[in-house]
């Protein structure tokens, strides 16, 4: 489970990093393509964070004797999941899509603060969670063979993330084009009724 859990966590970090970049760019430029990018990455990030929590629970059960403990790292990861789930829920419930996108972008920027907290909680505090084994101030803490396996799976999951992003952003652009077409149809004046011609 270790070889699955660790790469999934790193891809979740990547996804929320892309949310940060897209959100900042959207707030600065107002261009919808950045919002579509951030939204797509947030959806995939929530998926990977959920998988990270699930695999962590399965991995931790034999070690801790329980599926869950309110350890600092686990708690901060759960908070991260809730932040970006809230990002998606707010967007979905906002009556004004533009306002919803802007508020979601702010959440995307502020929420990213939790990413380094999750990662470095394993270094800063003596948590039950195992110490960070790859991005560690003292260097990688794995034997070469295990490190190669983790990096290979990280590349695989990153490729999956990129593929999902391409699909989701394409869908996002199609949804945007459809919304614009519907808005244009609503703004068109109704056709004039032709007066009846009497003989």
Q: Tell me, yes or no, whether 176 lies in a domain.
A: yes
Helices (H) and strands (E) in the chain, counts: 6, 0
pLDDT at position 144: 76
Q: Tell me, yes or no, whether 116 lies in a domain.
A: yes
Q: What backbone phi and psi angles, to 5 degrees, belong to 123?
A: -100, -40
Sign, CA dihedral 85-16-98-181, equals negative
Q: Tell me, yes or no, whether 18 lies in a domain.
A: yes
Q: Tell me, yes or no, whether 20 lies in a domain.
A: yes
Give the domain range for residue 102: 2-183
Q: Tell me, yes or no, whether 148 lies in a domain.
A: yes
Which residues, 6 or more positions from 132, have their beta carbon under 8 angstroms from its beta carbon? Answer: 119, 120, 122, 123, 141
pTM: 0.82
Tens of each residue's pLDDT in the chain, 199 residues: 777 888 899 999 999 999 999 999 999 999 999 999 999 999 999 999 999 999 988 888 888 888 888 888 889 999 999 999 999 998 888 888 889 999 999 999 999 999 999 988 877 777 666 666 565 555 656 667 777 888 899 899 999 999 999 999 999 899 888 877 776 777 766 666 555 555 5
Number of domains in the chain: 1
Q: At what angle do helices 32-64 and 72-93 cross, to 10 degrees?
A: 150
């Amino acid at each position: 489970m270790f070889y699955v859990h660790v790469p999934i966590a790193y891809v979740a970090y990547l996804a929320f990093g892309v949310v940060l970049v897209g959100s900042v760019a959207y707030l600065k430029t107002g261009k919808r393509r950045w919002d579509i990018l951030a939204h797509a990455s947030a959806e995939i990030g929530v998926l990977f964070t959920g998988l990270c929590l699930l695999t962590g629970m399965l991995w931790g059960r034999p070690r801790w004797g329980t599926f869950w403990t309110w350890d600092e790292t686990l708690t901060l990861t759960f908070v991260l999941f809730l932040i970006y789930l809230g990002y998606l829920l707010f967007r979905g419930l906002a009556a004004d899509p533009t306002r919803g996108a802007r508020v979601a972008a702010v959440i995307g920027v502020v929420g990213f603060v939790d990413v380094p907290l999750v990662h470095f909680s394993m270094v800063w505090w003596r948590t039950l969670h195992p110490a960070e084994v790859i991005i560690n101030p003292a260097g990688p803490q794995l034997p070469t063979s295990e490190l190669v396996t983790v990096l290979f799976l990280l590349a695989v999951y990153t490729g999956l993330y990129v593929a999902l992003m391409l699909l989701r952003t394409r869908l996002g652009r199609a949804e945007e084009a459809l919304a614009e077409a519907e808005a244009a149809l609503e703004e068109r004046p109704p056709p004039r009724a032709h007066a009846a011609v009497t003989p």
